[in-house]
Chain A
């Protein structure tokens, strides 16, 4: 691409004027050139070149002043490098990155995505964009500003503030050209009122769990959901409930299994003890199964709607597993794909992470 290192106007002479005349001859239709004739490419910025320049500026919606500066050179396809030129873009493509893990950033989607709470803010890192402009497409939904106190190696820190619920984009611009974007979802806070029930039956079977651990599990759930999906979990109540039946060694969901006696299906008896005003009812039981062989301990918990039965043998990372089960209540099914292993909703307990990607966050809190 051709370059020009100065602004020129009527009276200027030189090779850049000659370049201009050649380009005007190409880009301005012949009938619109002075006297319907091509300009002489003589390097002298005279009245005919001035008139052709003004015609071109009018065609392109530029300021019609006869001065060929950065914008007119740009419109002609010439890179302007003189005084007032936009700084050259840094090497490498601008790239958004998360400031910290599990903070509502999803870099696996294109464009990358960031959850921002309404009336709150998030910080993201923007690399390879030192001299580029960053703007919000809709400042009514989210605003963006540089954090003046922070500068990370090779990048800038951008503070994005959520104004109203909605989706917009943060664009990185080199002049008028958008060179990178970040999708921003501003979410209102969604609350989950969770009630916890320590179950026992009338034959002496009871959960070994106690209420003393519940606050810690609620904290774990909030550490996962609040920064990534703006969902706040509140402990509504934690009580013991007694079922007036011998539920046996295993509490079962079995109504979907042909040939299993109806009396084996104990799910309904248990969840009947739930808190009707809660959003998430957790029932801690000694052992839970939901397949044809109740003696094989292969299920930690089962969730249907707002009810979850959770057994005592459900691993040591109870808060994470509860968060996973809450994810089901919030509408997300298990994922098993290889790339999904770090995700909260990965189906296998011991390979599960805490990450909530864009698709899941948008389902949990649309």
Chain B
């Protein structure tokens, strides 16, 4: 009886697997074909200047990502741009290898978009576990990509080749400027390379950051406060705390036209609290204008919580 039961169970299991293969697998294929067809149709429209279908594809989420690869190598730059734009809207890890591919696009605009998407949408510590991405970033810099996001991400791949790539960029940068996102401050490329070089232990770069924290332009100090994640030196973080006293308006936080605008000290307070997990006894939002008492609380929390 037991043998019969076991044999029956085995047959039943086999039958179930067959049923699944017969009914589910073809269904899966049909679904994939459907996505593939939608993607192809959307990009055919994009080739004619109609980007609406591609925009609709974005509403389907991560499942379209595997189908975008051929379009990243399309001859039509607007097609490649649409494919990258879809990848930039996703935080799914499946997008990472495709964004790495886009880092070598002939157009700087596309290379910069790919770098920014990697920087903003993905955890850099997880990205650091992909050495091939480090290679792609170094190659992208060598190709002329001076986007801030690419430079900053490269510091997660320390080593001689990274140091060499950053040094080479430094040497050819001259007075070239760069930015993170379109609306963020424009700063010298050499400041961004200094952040990366400091993060991988370059003392000269660290001294440059200390100097810029103390007497850099408003844009430079705003930029440093915007990328505090990449600054690991307590000395630099303490030096940047001087921005807590700076009441120059920088915009951001509230829409254009609103007066008064956000000040550098507001950005400094928000950024330092978040970066250092400072314990403060008040709540705040992205639009908050800090009172002198609140600023003082932040300053004291820094002194107490971050070694010099």
Interface residues of A (CB under 8 A from B): 164-167, 188-193, 195, 234-239, 253, 255-256, 267, 275-279, 290-291, 299, 301-306, 309, 325, 328-331, 333-334, 347, 362-364, 366
Contacts and interface: CB of A to CB of B under 8 A. Distances in A.
B113 to A, nearest CB: 9
Contacts of B89: 276-277
A364 B253 CA distance: 19
Contacts of B261: 333
Contacts of B176: 165-167, 366
Given A302-B258, A306-B182, A331-B182, A277 B287 contact: no
Contacts, number: 114
Contacts of B258: 253, 256, 290-291, 302
A258 to B, nearest CB: 10
Given A255-B285, A331-B184, A362-B186, A191 B109 contact: yes
A37 to B, nearest CB: 52
A188 B255 contact: no
B178 interface: yes
B254 interface: yes
Contacts of B52: 236-239
B159 interface: no
B85 A347 contact: no
A304 B175 contact: no
20 contacts: A164-B144, A165-B108, A166-B174, A189-B107, A191-B81, A234-B78, A236-B52, A256-B253, A276-B58, A277-B85, A277-B86, A278-B85, A303-B255, A305-B252, A328-B256, A329-B182, A331-B182, A331-B183, A334-B257, A364-B182
Nearest to B111: A188
Interface string B285-308: 101010000000000000000000
Given A189-B109, A256-B258, 17 more contacts: A193-B51, A234-B78, A236-B55, A237-B52, A237-B56, A238-B52, A256-B287, A256-B289, A275-B55, A275-B58, A276-B58, A277-B55, A278-B55, A302-B258, A305-B181, A306-B181, A366-B179
Contact of B256 (A165, A302, A366): A302
B2 to A, nearest CB: 58
B174 A329 contact: no
B177 interface: yes
B88 interface: yes
B175 A305 contact: no
Interface string B148-176: 00000000000000000000000000111
A291 B289 CA distance: 16
The 8 closest A-B pairs by CB, nearest first: A302-B255, A276-B89, A277-B89, A366-B177, A237-B55, A277-B85, A256-B287, A304-B255
B102 to A, nearest CB: 13
A74 to B, nearest CB: 32
Contacts of A301: 256-257
B186 A331 contact: yes
A193 B85 contact: yes
Given A276-B58, A277-B58, A290 B255 contact: yes
A354 B185 CA distance: 22
Given A325-B256, A331-B183, A362-B186, A255 B251 contact: no
Contacts of A191: 81, 109
A73 B9 CA distance: 110
B109 A330 contact: no
A45 to B, nearest CB: 49
Nearest to B144: A165
Given A195-B55, A290-B255, A306 B81 contact: no
Contact of A235 (B51, B58, B85, B181): B51
Contacts of B58: 275-277
Interface in B238-263: 251-258, 261
